[in-house]
Amino acid sequence: MRAAINQAKRGRNIGEVPIGCVIVYEGKIIGRGYNKRKKKKTTLAHAEIEAIAKAGKVIKDWRLEDCDIYITLEPCQMCAGAIVQARMRRCIIGCRNPKAGCAGSILNILQNDAFNHQVELTEGVLEEECSAMLTDFFKDLRARNAEIKKAGKTENEERQDL
Amino acid sequence: MRAAINQAKRGRNIGEVPIGCVIVYEGKIIGRGYNKRKKKKTTLAHAEIEAIAKAGKVIKDWRLEDCDIYITLEPCQMCAGAIVQARMRRCIIGCRNPKAGCAGSILNILQNDAFNHQVELTEGVLEEECSAMLTDFFKDLRARNAEIKKAGKTENEERQDL
């Protein structure tokens, strides 16, 4: 999770919502990713999708069986779906996303018996640190936006919702 | 949907499960995709994800608002999630996927009020044609596998589950 947090920080350093992810296979990190949605201008650039793309190049198979994914934030519908589709073994999350999380908060896509694969789930790993990164990011963003407004400039619509 | 079927046929011609997709914005197709999961060796190469990546390059935004996505088969968890995440307006599907579909069959990710966006849904467009492509593909695959078995050769594990 420490490596996933480092990825999240790389995102934060370029103004992205700090969410990071690594994929581990046989004790080695084979995929890393951080949120680049603004930079890449596509919703597909979530941390998990970036890491899954990289891991696939290492494993050379669309199936990432026996792989474990560490994510600083509970995955959205798309990313939880990708984790199931890739047949990953285990998902380890830092903090929950009560507004959009799909590892139990809104839905539990990872562990739905109706699908042909279920993913083991561990949560709350370095939870406070993962959560604080997001809280601080949005606090800074609000302060920046308030300053821009105060200065009478046109505010860039950030809409940093996850 | 005719254009989406043409995409699916391109997939079939290279031995992929025939699923195709197009994205329409202001009456024009801005993204096309077909399933390339085997070729690209990543679960991310579903038709919808391929098309969303292309549409994003045209729109130059991670939001594909006012875009409609036409898919020959009901989307999986990952793709339904990507459609919601991209804030697409409408999803038009050919046939249902009772084993894994997430536009109503197993879950309805497109229209869950707990998420911050819901997608309009139209189904059954050119349904028979979309369905027949898949039925024929799997029939041929089974016949080919039976022949390989009969000939005593080692069968390539295809596991073409969607």
Spatial contact of B94 and B63, defined as CB atoms under 8 Å apart: no
Pairing of strands B20-25, B67-73: antiparallel
pLDDT score of B161 = 58
pLDDT score of A149 = 83
Q: CA dihedral defined by B161, B15, B104, A107, rounded to 10 degrees?
A: 60
Kindly name the residue from A16, A48, A50, A74 that is annotated as catalytic. Answer: A48
Instruction: pLDDT band for A8, please (50, 70, 90 cuts).
Output: very high
Active site residue A129: no
CA distance B55 to chain A (A): 9
**Distance (Å, rounded) from C-alpha A32 to C-alpha B97?**
32
**Distance (Å, rounded) from C-alpha A74 to C-alpha A96?**
5
Provide, rounded to the nearest whole percent, the portion of chain A with pLDDT above 70.
Answer: 94
pLDDT score of A154 = 52
Tokens, residue B76: 């999986």
Catalytic residues of B: 48
pLDDT score of B145 = 87
Choose among A149, A7, A143, A23: nearest CA to A92.
Answer: A23
When CB atoms are compared, the residue of B44, B61, B106 closest to A53 is B44
Chain B environment of A80 (Cβ under 8 Å): 77, 81
How much is the pTM?
0.90
Mean per-residue pLDDT pooled into runs of 10, chain B (162 residues): 96 94 97 93 93 95 96 97 97 96 96 96 97 95 87 56 61
User: Which region holds residue A132: left if phi is over 0, alpha if psi is between -120 and 50, else beta?
Assistant: alpha
Summarised one tens digit per residue, pLDDT across range A113-140 is 999 999 999 999 999 999 999 999 999 9
Question: Which residues does B38 contact at the CB level (< 8 Å), separation at least 6?
Answer: A62, B15, B16
Question: Which residues does B151 contact at the CB level (< 8 Å), separation at least 6?
Answer: none
CA distance A2 to chain B (A): 26
Question: Which residues does B59 contact at the CB level (< 8 Å), separation at least 6?
Answer: B25, B30, B67
pLDDT score of A63 = 95
Q: Does B79 touch chain A (CB under 8 A)?
A: yes
Q: CA dihedral defined by B81, B85, B91, B97, rounded to 10 degrees?
A: 0
Summarised one tens digit per residue, pLDDT across range A58-71 is 999 999 999 999 99
Spatial contact of A84 and A119, defined as CB atoms under 8 Å apart: yes
Tokens, residue B96: 């249902």
How are strands ordered across the β-sheet holding B120-123?
B28-34, B20-25, B67-73, B90-95, B120-123
**Distance (Å, rounded) from C-alpha A88 to C-alpha A82?**
9
Element (H or E) spanning A67, and its range? strand A67-73
Q: Do A43 and B60 touch (CB under 8 A)?
A: no
ipTM: 0.88
